[in-house]
Chains A and B, each alone.
Chain A
Amino acid sequence: MIRIKGKAVSPGIVMGKAMLYNSAKEVIRPEKISEKAIEKEVWRLENAVKKTQAQLKKIDRDLQKIMGGDSALIIETQYMLIKDSHLLDEIKIKIKNNLVNVEWAIKETEKKYLQIFNTIPDLSFKTKSNDISDVLNRLIENLKKGSKASLASQPGQVILVADDITPSEAAKLMSNNKLLGLVLNKGGETSHTVILARTMGIPAIMDTINATDSIANGDYLALDSISGEVIVQPTQAVVAEITIKSEKYQIYREQLKTLSQLPELTRDHHQFHLYANIELPFESEIVQAYGAKGIGLFRTEFMYLDSKMSISEEEQYLIYKSIAQNIFPHPLVIRTYDLGRDKSDGSASRQEENPSLGLMAVRMFLKKREPFKIQIKAIQRANSSGNIRILFPMITEIEEIHAIRGIMAETREELLREGKYPKKDVLVGIMLEIPAAVRLIRYLKDDIDFFSVGTNDLIQYLLAVDRNNSDVAYLFSPFHPAFVHILKEIRQEVAKISKEVTICGEMAGKCFQALMLLGLGFTNFSMNAMSIAEIKRVFTQIHYTHLRKIVSKLDQFSSRSEIEEYLTESLLRLYPDLLIRQRLF
């Protein structure tokens, strides 16, 4: 039994078999097979060979494109080697004569050739041993059940263990319901993969540094992402202990769900609204069960990424319309493609030195209009129920807003001509993510209907901190006095022009941070569906007047640690039950 510590980023407790994702190294052991199994092993070999050939061919083609013409010698050699029927016959003979698994037969063959090449004095031939090892290891990789393509064919659910996975990979894995839990070596707390895991209610631990070294395929794991721990091959006693803890947690979750029926009022009847952030259309069907009164942020990037921008107006129209109807009469806020930043979305036309200061979101839209125009048109067209709003990310200057308004007028005209424009205009909002945009609020009375604060990005751009860079992540704090001040400013400026503002970042879903926001006068919060019940529990047990008083004193403090300490202490003094969850576990 080994215990691996990590950061609990999506709460829950699960137990199950580990599956290493993309794991390159694995110890190969000889396994005796029966005569009957020979045919199956040979079949596995032939399949893996086909796969390997196809991969090498593709790599070769890709490389040729980059290098212009000539095949890369290494790849060409490897391709020739894997096509060498004599090499494959040798492996097959080993399987038959020695009655061993194909992996071992490959390893033995590799060993033989490495020995031959190593006795050759001519150095240039020594490098050949690398080619042989490379291609045979690729072959072994392709024999694995756990390789990328075959997760869907895994029997039962697994706990995925990986170095890191991209949000789009994660989305695919989660959508086929094979994922019990997630353990990653890397991963910052606010990465999109984590956000996704939380929405889907999949327990996840990150920053374990070397989980992939300590866990082998098929190991039984107890994943406890309340305390942030993975236990590899737990003893029976530990399994029993974890089971009890898991039951307690289930009861707690159920209690939270009953909360979703309560009205959205603090003890002293101050009204607030909780909305859900969603990423995939089907989530709109589950968010109301968590107590969401509408969708405060529908991130549309996945739609774009899945279709490689070819998704038609008609397809999008149907998706938006069905979500809007699901959620009616509550609002659905659709954010236009927020591409070109930390997501590996392939949208960049060239390498940028500073992608997060570069061509992205609305900036990209104003340069490459077509896919965005189609999206805007689909959104306008889908608004027959009248509850759709459109939200534009990463606004820097007012010219961008004028340009967007111009395009929206065009698409509106087109729809009118086609007889597809619904009676109601969509309300138009912008994200406040770039500090400069906060200063524009006062000029936007006639152009903008609502605002949305992307807390993660606003902190990132205000403090000049990359939240995914572990060397500086400590600086990323929602309690920095400058950030608290800008929040106050947003609240005041928006009130002056009588518009609405919603807090959309992950901050909305965290107990003390959300309380600070409520105290600062924000009433609309959009967060991960999983967090809604917890925030509602917290909000419904406090008095807004108390909160206001506490928050009004934040100006006295000059450091983030003072602010955080003061908030936590004064809140806990008034409401000792606030952290009841932490006490339970």
Chain B
Amino acid sequence: MIEKTQIIINKLGLHARAAAKLSHLANMFNANIYLIYNEDKVNAKSLLGILTLAASVGNEIILQASGDDEQEAITAISDLFNRKFDEES
């Protein structure tokens, strides 16, 4: 299992479209992937789960993955965060 701390840098935070992109990406990996924010831990493959976090810009969340492709998963997801979910050019 690996973990990575990630800061949300896109203006809108984990709103619907970003959350949709995130869960879509997470579903491409075999690993179990979770997002941990405050006390909550949600499955990154569930759009609804991500939405319930209501994480906004500036918040720090932890990405957690376990499985054969955990490294690739964390790298790809972290990259999506850093690209600001491709919303702001």
Contacts and interface: CB of A to CB of B under 8 A. Distances in A.
Contacts of A116: 52
A554 to B, nearest CB: 69
A85 B49 CA distance: 11
Contacts of A185: none
B23 A80 contact: yes
A116 B17 CA distance: 19
Interface stretch (A120-128, A288-296, A333-341): A120-128
A129 B16 CA distance: 11
A120 B37 CA distance: 13
B56 A77 contact: no
A84 B56 contact: no
B17 A77 contact: yes
B48 interface: yes
A423 interface: no
Interface string A8-41: 0000000000000000000000000000000000
A504 interface: no
A331 B47 CA distance: 66
B12 A124 contact: yes
B1 interface: no
Contacts of B48: 81, 84, 86-87, 113, 132
B46 A113 contact: no
B71 to A, nearest CB: 24
Contacts of B56: 122
Given A73-B17, A80-B20, A125 B46 contact: no
Interface in B34-83: 43, 45-49, 51-52, 54, 56
B51 A86 contact: no
Main secondary structure on B side of the interface with A = helix
A81 B47 contact: yes
B84 interface: no
A120 B47 CA distance: 17
Nearest to B16: A77
Contacts of B17: 73, 76-77
A566 interface: no
A117 interface: yes
A87 B12 CA distance: 24
A80 B47 contact: yes
Given A73-B16, A73-B17, A131-B16, A117 B52 contact: yes
B20 to A, nearest CB: 4
Interface residues of A, number: 20
Contacts of A113: 48, 52
B38 to A, nearest CB: 11
Interface string A97-121: 0000000000000000100110010
Interface in A186-241: none
Contacts of A124: 12-13, 15
Contacts of A76: 16-17, 20
Contact of B54 (A77, A85, A86, A122): A122
Nearest to A112: B52
Given A113-B52, A122-B54, A86 B45 contact: yes
A128 B16 contact: yes
Contacts of B45: 85-86
A132 B52 CA distance: 11
Given A128-B16, A131-B16, A120 B23 contact: no
A116 B48 CA distance: 11
Contacts of A84: 23, 46-48
Contacts of B52: 113, 116-117
Nearest to B51: A128
Interface in B14-31: 15-17, 20, 23-24
Nearest to A84: B47
A73 B56 CA distance: 19
A19 to B, nearest CB: 33
A86 B20 contact: no
A124 B54 CA distance: 9
Contacts of A81: 47-48
A86 B12 contact: no
A86 B47 CA distance: 8
B24 to A, nearest CB: 8
Nearest to A87: B48
Given A81-B48, A116-B52, A122-B56, A86 B43 contact: yes
A125 B15 contact: yes
Contacts of A128: 16, 51
A336 B8 CA distance: 65
A81 B12 CA distance: 19
B54 A125 contact: yes
A128 B54 CA distance: 10
Interface in A111-162: 113, 116-117, 120, 122, 124-125, 128, 131-132
A87 B45 CA distance: 11
Given A117-B52, A125-B51, A86 B46 contact: yes
Contacts of A77: 16-17, 20, 47
Contacts of A122: 13, 54, 56
Contacts of A83: 47
B85 to A, nearest CB: 13
A14 B47 CA distance: 50
Q: Which 7 pairs, one residue from A and one from B, show the smallest C-beta to C-beta distance?
A: A86-B46, A120-B54, A77-B16, A125-B54, A80-B20, A84-B47, A80-B47
Interface of A: 73, 76-77, 80-81, 83-87, 113, 116-117, 120, 122, 124-125, 128, 131-132
21 contacts: A77-B16, A77-B20, A80-B24, A80-B47, A81-B47, A84-B46, A84-B47, A86-B43, A86-B45, A86-B46, A86-B49, A87-B46, A117-B52, A117-B54, A120-B54, A122-B54, A124-B13, A125-B54, A128-B16, A128-B51, A131-B16
